Amino acid sequence: MNETTDLGNASILEPGLRLRKDRIPSPAGQENHDNDQLYEQKSLLLESHRSCEQKKSSDSPGGNEATQEDERFMGMLPLLQAHHAMERMEEFVCKVWEGRWRVISFDVLPDWLKDNDYLLHGHRPPMPSFRACFKSIFRIHTETGNIWTHLLGCVFFLCLGIFYMFRPNMSFVAPVQEKVVVGMFFLGAILCLSFSWLFHTVYCHSEGVSRIFSKLDYSGIALLIMGSFVPWLYYSFYCNPQPYFIYLIVICVLGIAAIIVSQWDRFATPQYRAVRAGVFLALGLSGVIPTLHFVISEGLLKAATMGQIGWLALMACLYITGAALYAARIPERFFPGKCDIWFHSHQLFHVFVVAGAFVHFHGVSNLQEFRFMVGGGCSEDEMQ
């Protein structure tokens, strides 16, 4: 009876022990050598087990030695199972490294990758390889649109900024000052868009990498808002520098405070989505105060023409609309599973951010041209 049971166990274990030597794809010769050694060790264990069974069948009265051999073999079974698990893990990592991974559904994502439960399919699996993360830029998944909207936007503003900085000095009243203040806007826009597409590229790498780059992403948003204020305040209060410096200091303090808050680990969790949108929305809406100051002091007509308030209002509408869609997760909230790859709220938010930044640059360019036509002089009424 014992012999039948042991033979049955051997028949069950034998397929698990027969592993092909070329199971794991390995580019290095050292890994092939390790696999050969592992295969030889398993072959020796299998032969030992077979010889043990033959000995038991030929000498059944002395079953104590056979039982000891069998117990010794069974004691090494967890080691073989561990080696098998390691092989499967290495095979999975190699497949991910070579870009042969497949998108997965939201349900099987680890908790640190679960952000929007209305996006049901098309998610990248955890990929602990920066090379695999960057190669995923050219694959179709839930982050493809998020990456490319801000990657292309970053390249666009980088080229636009270089072109603007190399404009001839004769096009400016005060070339150094004006290029510096407009350059602050370009710097904020490029950093914001760069941090954004990098975060969406590598956030599936690991929980620690995701946490670091999410903080950079949120800091970039604050830098864009701060940089956008600098040229508008400079040109709007060109002849009255005192309120310009006061408002600039206030917006810098508020922006730094927003950056500090964004370093809180819970700030990046899905439960704080509305809080994130509210913090950056409040930072942007702080510009209402200097805008009202300018309208009251200069008059609505002058504010609409010289101050380019219309373009500023359009920029605010674009930013607010994008933030509202992001916070409410529209449209995927009403069409779960239908906007997994394209046109979900985060993609639309990215598009509105790029559009709002360009509208702001257009308004600032008009302010610069108006100041160039008027000249650098200021009347007594303007300096009051």
141 is in an annotated binding site: no
200 is in an annotated binding site: yes
Q: Which residues are 104's β-sheet partners? A: 123
Neighbours of 21 (CB within 10 A): 11
Task: Return d(Cα 79, Cα 87) in angstroms, integer.
Answer: 12
Hey, what amino acid is at 44?
L
Task: Return d(Cα 124, Cα 104) in angstroms, integer.
Answer: 6
Rounded to 5°, the CA angle 74-76-79 comes to: 130
Tokens linked to 291: 């805008």
Q: Which of 324, 315, 316, 313 is nearest to 349 (CA)?
A: 324
33 is in an annotated binding site: no
Task: Return the SS3 of 104.
Answer: strand
Task: Return the SS3 of 123.
Answer: strand
Cα Rg of the chain, angstroms = 32
Task: Return d(Cα 118, Cα 374) in angstroms, integer.
Answer: 53
* Neighbour-count burial for 137-149, b at 16+ CB within 10 Å, e otherwise: eeeebbbbbbbbb
Residue numbering of the annotated binding site: 200, 346, 350
Residue numbering of the annotated binding site for Zn(2+): 200, 346, 350
